Amino acid sequence: MISIQEQNLRLQYFNKMLKKNDLRITPQKNKIFEEVSFTDLHPDAQDIFEKVQKKFPTISFSTVYKNLKTFVKIGVVTELDLGEGRSRFDANMTHHQHIIYENGKIDDIILQASDIPNLPKQFSNLDLSRVDIHFFVKDKK
Contact residues: Zn ion, CB under 5 A = 90, 92, 108
Q: How far, rounded to the nearest angstrom, does the alpha carbon of residue 71 sit from its chain's CA centroid?
A: 9
Of 30 and 97, the one with the shorter C-beta distance to Zn ion is 97
Q: Which residue pairs, CB below 8 angstroms and at least 24 apart, start in 96-101?
A: 97/132, 97/133, 97/134, 97/135, 98/42, 98/132, 98/133, 98/134, 98/135, 99/135, 99/137, 100/134, 100/135, 100/136, 100/137, 101/137, 101/138, 101/139, 101/140
Of 38 and 61, the one with the shorter C-beta distance to Zn ion is 38
Phi, psi (deg, nearest 5) at residue 88: -110, 155
Question: 26, 68, 30, 71: which is closest to 47 by C-alpha?
Answer: 68
CB of 76 to Zn ion, least distance (A): 14
Which element (helix H / strand E) includes 79? Answer: strand 78-81
CB of 107 to Zn ion, least distance (A): 8
CB of 96 to Zn ion, least distance (A): 6
CB of 60 to Zn ion, least distance (A): 27
Of 23 and 72, the one with the shorter C-beta distance to Zn ion is 72
CB of 57 to Zn ion, least distance (A): 30
Of 59 and 93, the one with the shorter C-beta distance to Zn ion is 93
